[in-house]
Amino acid sequence: MYKNLIFLIFLFIFCYFASAQNGIVVEQEFVKKGCNSTCIYREERITSKTISNFPKNCFTLCGYLVINNLTDLSEKQLLALFENAKVLIGGLTIFDTNYTTGSFLAGLEAIDCMYDSGVEWVSNMKMTELGLTNLKNVTCNDFTISDNSKMTKLNMPKFENYQGTKNLVISRLASNFCMSGDEIKGFSTTTTVPATVEITGKLCDFVKSDKTCTKDISDGCTDFYGDLTIGPNFADLEKLKSLETIIGTLFLNGTTFVDLSIFENLHYVIQIDQKKSALKVEGNKMLSSTLFPSLKRIFSTAALESVIFKNNNENLKSDPMTCYTIRNSIMPSSLWVPDFDGNSCGE
């Protein structure tokens, strides 16, 4: 009995000092990232009992923030708590809450995660939007928005750039969930390639401008929303030169193109409809090169047939570098993509 008591005392002391040491190490890492020690939130979650320790006047807020079913604060109280924060360094978890919006974090302009932490908005059954109206940049290996059954939109109008290497998940939301063109571009034009990508939804309605177009390509249009089919009688070839982004399917069908130099400024082809290919090239018998001069990324949520080449110039089949070059531009990557007349690269 006495020995067991001594063991438990030593175990408690060891755990206490180990925990304290770990806290010191974590705090040092925050300081290395540029955090002021007075702006580090050290509590496990945010509740009415812990907000007295919350750094309310910090431009850069640091910590692993957890807001969940134990958070007994109103949206108005949370808004006041975060009103001065513009940058979050650490991590963010919003889980199993009854909040209708995440706009209490609307002041955030950037989120920079540490270690394997990420951004998670999961199982918030009453939440209709994130409402991060000033957020521009997210650098987190894991970014998950899922199982929020009433969420119809993100509402992140200023979002520009996502960087991460592990999981990018925006899925299992309301049946009418949609994303804006800028939001879609922000997530899919990343220079890093997440190991897992799962995005479901559709393109929201958008306001047409001088730089955006749909159905018909206008002069100076850079962003085309919708499926763009180019056949042998396509009349606006010169207008293709200004295109930079296509959010939809690009279908080249029976053209007389010998190469794709007409797409001299095309950087991105993005398709978030899981039932559609991002790029289809079929029946172009004179096409001897399928390399886009400026292409950076083909993004598709289709499981297999995201990029298809069929019944084109026979010489394309004998040039494996063409296939591999296109594969390197596709996100998420797959050994079965692209498809050249039923074969993948190297077959």
Stretch 137-160: mean pLDDT: 96
Decide if pLDDT at 334 tops 80. Answer: no
- pLDDT given for residue 210 in this prediction: 76
The superfamily CATH assigns to domain 212-340 is Receptor L-domain (3.80.20.20)
Q: What is the pLDDT of residue 248?
A: 94
Average of per-residue pLDDT values in the chain: 88
Domain residue extents for the chain:
37-203, 212-340
72-109 residue pLDDT tens:
999 999 999 999 999 999 999 999 999 999 999 999 99
Task: With a cut of 90, say whether residue 326 has pLDDT above it.
Answer: no
State the pLDDT at residue 66: 97
Say yes or no: do domains 37-203 and 212-340 share a fold. yes
Distances (CA, A) of 264 to 30, 93, 261, 333: 44, 42, 5, 24
**Percentage of residues of the chain with pLDDT beyond 90:** 65
- pLDDT the model gives residue 294: 94
Question: Higher model confidence: residue 150 or residue 25?
Answer: 150
335 pLDDT above the threshold of 80: no
Contacts of residue 270, defined as CB under 8 A and 6 or more positions apart, other chains included, come to 184, 185, 188, 189, 245, 246, 247, 248, 278, 297, 298, 299, 300
Given a cut of 50, is residue 23 above it in pLDDT?
A: no
- The pLDDT of residue 26 is 67
Q: Locate all alpha helices (DSSP H) within 37-149, ordered by sequence.
A: 75-82
* Per-residue pLDDT tens over the stretch 266-309: 999 999 998 899 999 999 999 999 999 999 999 988 877 889 99
Prediction pTM value? 0.86
Q: What is the predicted pLDDT for the residue at 24?
A: 46
> Using CA of residue 331, residue 333, residue 336, residue 337, what is the dihedral sign?
positive
Are 214 and 204 within 8 A, CB to CB?
Answer: no
Q: Is the pLDDT of residue 15 over 60?
A: no
Higher per-residue confidence, 296 vs 335: 296
CA 80, CA 82: separation in Å to the nearest integer? 6
Domain covering 37-203: architecture: Alpha-Beta Horseshoe (3.80)
What tens digit of pLDDT does each residue of 29-58 get? 888 888 999 999 999 999 999 999 999 999
